[in-house]
Amino acid sequence: MPDISEKFVVVTVTQHEARVWATGVAKGSKPERIFAPAGLNHHHFRDDPKMHGRGDGPGVPAYFEEVVAAIGKASEILLIGHGNGKARGMVHFEMYLHRKHPDLAKKVVDTLDTNLMGMTEPEILKMARDWFDAHSPLAHTV
C-alpha cells in the first residue's frame, strides 16, 4: 500500500468488501480491495443493543481491523456506503471506529449514504471528487 500520510482517502464499506482509494480520486484510480471473511457473508450485522458485541459477529473485528490498517495514516477519510437496511456496513464500520479507534474516527470528515451496489467505480470516484470540490479548502486555492 502506498504511503497515505496526510492524504485524503476514500473508503467504501459494505458487509462483504471495503475499497480504499489511497492514491487519490483522479479518473482511473484503482482501489485496494479488502474482503470480509467468507463466513461473514452469510450473517447479517446485528444492530440490537441487547446483542453482545453490537455487530461484532464472527470475523467482523478482523475485517474492520484490516480496513483500519489500510487507512490509519490518512489525514482525512470520506466513507461511502449504505446507510439503511441490514447491509449497512458503513454505519457499522463507523460505530466500530468510534468504539475501538476514536482517534481515527475523528479523521472521518463525512459519510455519504448511497446505493453503492448500483454504482461503478468511476461513479464513486466522481462522487468523491464532487464532495472534495465542495468541502475542501485546498480545492479552492489556486
- For residue 12, give Cα distances in angstroms to 49, 84, 121: 25, 15, 10
User: What pLDDT tens digit does each residue of the chain (142 aa) get?
Assistant: 556 666 889 999 998 899 999 877 888 889 999 999 875 544 444 444 433 444 455 568 899 999 999 999 999 999 999 866 666 889 999 999 999 999 999 999 999 999 888 899 999 999 999 999 898 665 544 3
Alpha carbon distance 94, 96 (integer Å):
5
Candidates 91, 3, 9; CA nearest to 45 is: 91
Query: pTM of this prediction?
Result: 0.80
Fold of 8-140: Nucleotidyltransferase; domain 5 (3.30.420)
